[in-house]
Amino acid sequence: MYTPKRVITLGQFIIERQSDFPYAKGELSRLLRDIGIAAKMVNREVNKAGLVDILGDYGNTNVQGEEVKKLDVYANEQFISALSSGGETCAVASEENEEMVPINSEISKNAKYLVAMDPLDGSSNIDVNVSIGTIFSIYRRTTLSGPSNLSDFMQKGTEQVAAGYVIYGSSTMMVYTTGKGVNGFTLDPSIGEFCLSHPDMKIPKLGFIYSVNEGNYAHFPVGVKKFIKFCQEEDEKSKRPYSSRYIGSLVADFHRNLLKGGIYIYPATAKSPKGKLRLLYECNPLAFIVEQAGGKASDGFNRILDIQPTSLHQRTPLFIGSPDMVSKAEELMMRFSQVSTS
Ligand code: AHM
Ligand code: MG
């Protein structure tokens, strides 16, 4: 007898898993639902990006006489608006805003959650039809009452209650964790719903892909140079050389490595001595996800999730992916940490 496969939407999945949360009152579920809705709006605009020549350039006026916003600005506004009207978020930290954005709506006055996000990461890839993404991280506020303040955001990544990303690629997916494994949902455009497509995602222990911007090689720490050479060496037993794959869109590079196994590295360089990527809304959420999927995330020496933030837009080097690859990179970073040139 034919039994149709049950399609589980993101909304259903969130409700079914609500009892996983220690303080299950539905607030976090509603917050995740709000993020899902904003992601669909952003997805719609991202898909239109190639039409700017017809509809009007970003920053100019379109044929209807409306101003066409840059997509990263649009995404930022869309997420903040969804979080403000959802009522569960008391403040947002975003790559697009220098300062934290307090949410002061009447409906949010008892809100317990903070969201740190990069509303549209990899924005240099938008105009060339390459995958981009949204990254988000959710914390409970630490101050007990009154308006939220910056200190609420100065929590280690270990304190995240949920984190996720949306990838706008050949299909659009949302992947998230609440600390009980990682699940991926693919947007079915015909019904406008994210549907569970990748339950309980696990990253391979060892992968065969390394992702790093080798154009910066001359300025890399010696440990990273040694690791790259290790990846390129011929060794049949360990299936080296590994493949090099670098999109230059963190979410897309991370997503591929999560599925196939691999390591993504953005180290400190002479130009960016603290690395390029931001701890709060790029590295911590992906570190939480990768650990939940059985992987590892490090700054080369220490676990990303253990770093104490001291500012909203703090940067950190990032080594993230299959655990055996990250451990190997850490070993070389430590072994050559005192060497200043190759
Ligand atoms: P952005 O937040 O300004 O888009 O920068 C982050 C992006 C990541 O998506 C990507 O992995 C990295 O910057 C690429 O940087 P580079 O061009 O230096 O390799
Ligand atoms: Mg970014």
Please state the domain extents for the chain: 10-198, 209-335
Looking up tokens 């190759």 gives 342
The pTM (predicted TM-score) of the whole model is: 0.94
**What backbone torsions phi and psi does residue 278 show, to the nearest 5 degrees?**
-95, 135
The residue-averaged pLDDT of 111-118 equals 95
The residue-averaged pLDDT of 291-298 equals 98
Least confident of 17-21, 75-79, 216-220: 17-21
Q: What pLDDT was estimated at residue 185?
A: 97
Rounded to the nearest integer, the mean pLDDT of the chain is: 91
Task: Give the pair of three-digit tokens for residue 47.
Answer: 């898909």
Q: What pLDDT was estimated at residue 196?
A: 97
Ligand 1, closest atom to CA 213?
19
Ligand 1, atom 11: closest residue by C-alpha: 250
Q: What pLDDT was estimated at residue 341?
A: 58
Distance 121 CA to ligand 2 centre (A): 4
- Measured torsion, CA atoms of residues 198, 200, 201, 203, in degrees rounded to the nearest 10: -160
Q: What pLDDT was estimated at residue 27?
A: 86
Q: What pLDDT was estimated at residue 342?
A: 54
Is pLDDT above 80 for 65? no
Strand (E) or helix (H) holding 335: helix 323-335
Domain 10-198 part of CATH 3.40.190.10: no
Is pLDDT above 80 for 180? yes
The residue-averaged pLDDT of 170-175 equals 96
Least confident of 4-13, 31-40, 130-139, 189-198: 4-13
Write out pLDDT tens, residues 14-34: 888 877 665 556 888 889 999
Ligand 1, closest atom to CA 251?
9
Cα 182 to Cα 113: distance, rounded to the nearest angstrom: 20
Q: How far apart are the first and last CA of the chain?
A: 66
Q: What pLDDT was estimated at residue 69?
A: 64
Residue type at position 117: M
Mutate to test the pocket of ligand 1, among 73, 269, 277, 280 (most ligand atoms within 8 A of CB): 277
Task: Give the pair of three-digit tokens for residue 196.
Answer: 């569970």
Q: List Cβ neighbours of 10 (8 Å cut-off, separation of 6 or more).
A: 32, 33, 36, 174, 185, 193, 194, 195, 196
| CATH pick for 209-335 out of 3.40.50.10190, 3.40.190.80, 3.40.50.970, 2.130.10.10 | 3.40.190.80
Q: List Cβ neighbours of 318 (8 Å cut-off, separation of 6 or more).
A: 264, 265, 266, 267, 275, 277, 282, 283, 286, 297, 298, 299, 304
Distance 71 CA to ligand 2 centre (A): 13
Is pLDDT above 60 for 231? yes
Ligand 1, atom 12: closest residue by C-alpha: 248
Ligand 1-lining residues (CB < 6 angstroms): 95, 118, 121-123, 213, 248-250, 253, 276
pLDDT over 90, % of the chain: 73
How many angstroms separate the Cα of 71 from the Cα of each of 121, 218, 233, 280, 289?
11, 33, 41, 21, 26
